[in-house]
Amino acid sequence: MIVYKKDDEIELIRESCLLVCKTLTHVATRIKPGIKGKEIDREAEELIRDHGAKPGFKGYNGFPATLCISVNEQIVHGIPSDEPFKDGDIVSVDCGVYWNYFFGDAAYTFAIGDVDKEIMKLLVVTKDCLYRGIDKAVEGNRIGDIGYAVQNYAEKECGYGVIRELVGHGVGRNLHESPEVPNYGKRGKGQKLKEGLVIAIEPMVNLGDRKIRQSGDGWTVFAKDRSPSAHYEHTIAVRSGNADILSDHAGIEKAIKNNPELKEISIKS
């Protein structure tokens, strides 16, 4: 069942999403070669709790951390570790918070130092896919229009692998609500989009084949062929004309600009 949100509920989800992005902005100031995911995770939890909110992922189905940190061939759901980041790594950081009875959810993949040109292109294309999906998330369209926009660009135009097993989702009083928002699909198919629908759109794209594996830790999902994988996510509210993007990557991107260890991911327009 889909729970459509009233405007005041959407504003509460926006507050949660903005706290997520404040946390990811902090991550962007801290991430560099030599630092450990576990360290950043600790700081992220502290920041969220200092605001009187709760980490949205910690304890969710038993997940042990505040952030999902997925490095290189890891796609999503990576557990923050004691392994220091290295020059040339790409690091997806996914964060959720629970605040005022509503969840917020957003993710960003960072490029540390001298990242391979081919991998930089994967990041740019995946981020571009996110905005192509958001462009289709308007009243009157259907869920399949979002997935088609992502899949068509990533697979047909760029030859990348779009993950099928993991999808975007509704967001609200629960972290994962109906409907599912796949990153593949057919135009004009699937659930009709209506005002009040709040969804997380989150393309997950492999440089190589789309097949996945799950690690022995029970969480981390990685590319079967070990090719690098990228992930960007926004939570949005469906409106007529243009989607309302409730999360905001602007602070993260400003922090990346000011962090000499990180490379900017800029979509050419």
Residues engaged in binding Mg ion (CB under 5 A): 94, 105, 107, 200, 233
Q: How far is the CB of 105 from Mg ion (least distance, A)?
A: 4
Q: How far is the CB of 191 from Mg ion (least distance, A)?
A: 17
Nearer to Mg ion, 107 or 130 (CB): 107
Size of the chain in residues:
269
Q: How far apart are CA 18 and CA 248, in angstroms?
A: 7
Nearer to Mg ion, 100 or 174 (CB): 174
Q: How far is the CB of 108 from Mg ion (least distance, A)?
A: 10
> Cα–Cα distances in Å, from 90 out to 74, 149, 169?
10, 24, 24
Nearer to Mg ion, 107 or 123 (CB): 107
Nearer to Mg ion, 64 or 140 (CB): 64
Token duo for residue 145: 């229009």
Q: How far is the CB of 34 from Mg ion (least distance, A)?
A: 26
C-alpha dihedral (236, 90, 122, 193), degrees to nearest 10: -10
Q: How far apart are CA 13 and CA 133, in angstroms?
A: 20
Nearer to Mg ion, 104 or 190 (CB): 104
Nearer to Mg ion, 122 or 200 (CB): 200
Q: How far apart are CA 124 and CA 112, in angstroms?
A: 14
Half-sphere exposure of residue 83, counting CA atoms within 13 Å on the CB side? Answer: 12
Angle at 235 between CA 256 and CA 66, to 5 degrees: 65
Q: How far is the CB of 101 from Mg ion (least distance, A)?
A: 18
Nearer to Mg ion, 138 or 175 (CB): 175
Q: How far is the CB of 200 from Mg ion (least distance, A)?
A: 4
- In terms of Cα–Cα distance, which of 232, 229, 264 is closest to 248? 232
Q: Which amino acid is at 45?
A: E
Q: How far is the CB of 116 from Mg ion (least distance, A)?
A: 25
Which residue bears the tokens 């190589």?
208
Q: How far apart are CA 174 and CA 151, in angstroms?
A: 27
Q: How far is the CB of 62 from Mg ion (least distance, A)?
A: 17
- In terms of Cα–Cα distance, which of 264, 262, 263, 266 is closest to 33? 262
Pair 158, 132: CB distance under 8 Å:
no
Nearer to Mg ion, 93 or 122 (CB): 93
Pair 16, 100: CB distance under 8 Å:
yes
